[in-house]
Amino acid sequence: MKQRDYSDLAAPGVRELMPYLPGKPISELEREYGVTDSIKLASNENPLGASPLAIEAARAELDDVWLYPDANGFHLKQALAKKHGVPVEAITLGNGSNDVLVFLAQAFLQPGLEAVFSQYAFAVYPIATQMVGAKANIAPALPADHATMPLGHDLRGLFHRVGNDTRLVFVANPNNPTGTWLSGERLKDFVGSLPPHVICVVDEAYTEYAESDTLGDASTWLEEFPNLVVTRTFSKAYGLAGLRVGYALSNPGIADMLNRVRPAFNVNAPALAAARAALDDHEFIAETRRVNSEGMRQLSEGFEKLGLTVIPSAANFLLVGFNRSGAELNEALLKRGVIVRPVGNYGLDNYLRITIGTRKQNERLLAALSEILQ
Ligand SMILES: *Cc1c(COP(=O)(O)O)cnc(C)c1O
């Protein structure tokens, strides 16, 4: 095909955009490296798979896929409203929570306006901000030698960046790719300190993994703060990353704006049914949490034995620091059939983000790393 560069015709925000870098799929690794039996600890997926109840519900929907899905997601919204004790008008469904993060940018940002977030915050925040031509105002993270929360969010730094042009503040709790977190108490004070023209987005993609109630549940603060948005996903603990379902909870006035930019059929029928069923699978979530906390202990001990730096995490992954390039280590791991996530795109060159797997997967990763580091 004839080559032609179209960047000059693209909107300025799009021209400068750095695309999201996904974890390498297993099939791609096996094609490119000629390895088999590989494992993926790169995208914070649930190593136990999906909730069996969710899979059954998705399958049952397949007979009806010639019909458009319910654009209002009635059954899922009813269940979510009950779970969180909010009216259905407070809910915006997304094709993954990535979708609702983009709706927030589309609805509330434009050239001349700003989003504030932390250095090392989730990569979708800068993408969503830039794509609509708004400015990312980034607060430096806590230093790598910080006593309790190295590389974590600095709430005071975030607060100082908020100004007249700020419309959104993104805070992931816990954060990806660092795994670091904020206590619910401190985060709640922060939300309460923001002026009314600023919407605070608390991204709770990993909240099901938190082992204590330290992080709090921002969805319980919605009554108090009309400018709060809480996002959740079925991609992580619920194990439905491939189906793409997430949601935002907010004041109905904010949800109204988000639903105006939302494509009508953004969540497909099997996904709606699976998410609805997954909410009732308490056993699956309990087992997921158990495997994760055991794996967290296993990997942390293993990494420390290898003399590596482990950033504290409240999620289902660990950010691990090395005294050499993460990209090179990643390459060596790929050759051994282990996919992890290099985070050079976040400015974390000497780190790897590693999803906590099953006991066996964790053993395999530790063995490969120890061989490489010898
Ligand atoms: C994975 C992740 C999401 C969203 O993922 P979806 O699959 O789009 O729901 C959102 N925020 C953070 C911090 C994440 O790590």
Q: How confident is the model at residue 172 (pLDDT cuts 50, 70, 90)?
A: very high
Q: Which atom of ligand 1 is nearest to the CA of 43?
A: 1
Residue 115 reports pLDDT greater than 90: yes
**Close Cβ partners of 109 (under 8 Å, ≥ 6 residues apart):** 115, 129, 132, 133, 134, 167, 168
pLDDT at 285: 97
pLDDT score recorded for residue 137 = 98
- How remote is the CA of residue 123 from the centroid of ligand 1, in Å? 10
* Substitution site in 44, 95, 97 for ligand 1 pocket (most atoms within 8 Å of beta carbon): 97
Q: Find the mean pLDDT for residues 167-187.
A: 98
Closest CA relative to residue 73, chosen from 267, 259, 212, 242 = 267
What is the pLDDT, as a whole number, of residue 16? 85
Q: What is the pLDDT of residue 251?
A: 98
Start-to-end Cα distance in the chain: 48
Q: What is the model's pLDDT at position 36?
A: 85
Complete domains list, the chain, with CATH: 9-49+282-373 (3.90.1150.10), 63-278 (3.40.640.10)
Q: What is the pLDDT of residues 122-165, one digit of tens each?
A: 999 999 999 999 999 999 999 999 999 999 999 999 999 999 99
- Rounded to the nearest angstrom, the distance between the alpha carbon of 188 and the centre of ligand 1 is 21
Among the atoms of ligand 1, which is closest to the Cα of residue 244?
A: 7
pLDDT for the residue 24: 84
Q: Where are the beta strands (DSSP E) in 119-267?
A: 135-139, 166-172, 199-203, 228-233, 246-250
Please report the pLDDT score of residue 212 as a whole number: 80
CA 271 to CA 58: how far, in whole Å? 6
pLDDT at 201: 98
pLDDT tens-place string over residues 323-359 = 999 999 999 999 999 999 999 999 999 999 999 999 9
Identify the residue with better confidence: 24 or 196. 196
Structure tokens at 73: 């997601």
To the nearest whole number, what is the mean pLDDT of the chain?
96
Cα three-residue angle 256-259-264, rounded to 5 degrees: 150
String of DSSP letters for 67-97:
SPP-TT-HHHHHHHHHHHT--GGGEEEESSH
pLDDT of residue 162: 98
How large is the angle between the packed helices 97-108 and 252-261, nearest 10 degrees?
100
Residue with CA nearest ligand 1 atom 6: 96
- 12 pLDDT above the threshold of 90: no
Residue 22, pLDDT score: 82
Ligand 1 center–CA 185 separation, angstroms: 23
**Per-residue model confidence (pLDDT) at position 211:** 83
- Residues 98-113 have pLDDT tens digits of 999 999 999 999 999 9
E-assigned strand segments in the chain: 39-40, 91-94, 114-118, 135-139, 166-172, 199-203, 228-233, 246-250, 309-310, 317-321, 338-339, 341-343, 348-355
Distance 229 CA to ligand 1 centre (A): 15
| pLDDT mean over 298-310 | 98
Please compute Rg for the chain using Cα positions: 21
Could you tell me which of 294, 308, 297 has the C-alpha nearest to residue 353? 308
| Integer CA distances (angstroms), 160 to 139, 187, 199, in order | 9, 15, 15
CA atoms within 13 A on the CB side of 206: 31
Q: Is the pLDDT of residue 236 over 90?
A: yes
Confidence band for 228, pLDDT divided at 50, 70 and 90? very high
pLDDT tens digits for range 24-65: 889 898 898 888 889 999 999 999 999 999 999 999 999 999
- DSSP lists the bridge partners of residue 197 as none
What's the average model confidence in pLDDT over 79-93? Answer: 98
Give ligand 1 pocket residues (Cβ under 6 A): 44, 96-98, 122, 172, 176, 203, 205, 233, 235-236, 241, 246
Query: Of all protein residues, whose CA lies closest to atom 15 belonging to ligand 1?
Result: 176
DSSP string for 11-52 = -HHHHT-----PPPPHHHHHHHH---S-EE-SS---TT-S-H
How are beta strands 166-172 and 338-339 bridged, if at all?
unpaired
User: Which ligand 1 atom lies nearest to the CA of residue 246?
Assistant: 9
pLDDT tens-digit profile of 201-226?
A: 999 999 999 988 899 999 999 999 99
CB 228 within 8 A of CB 249: no
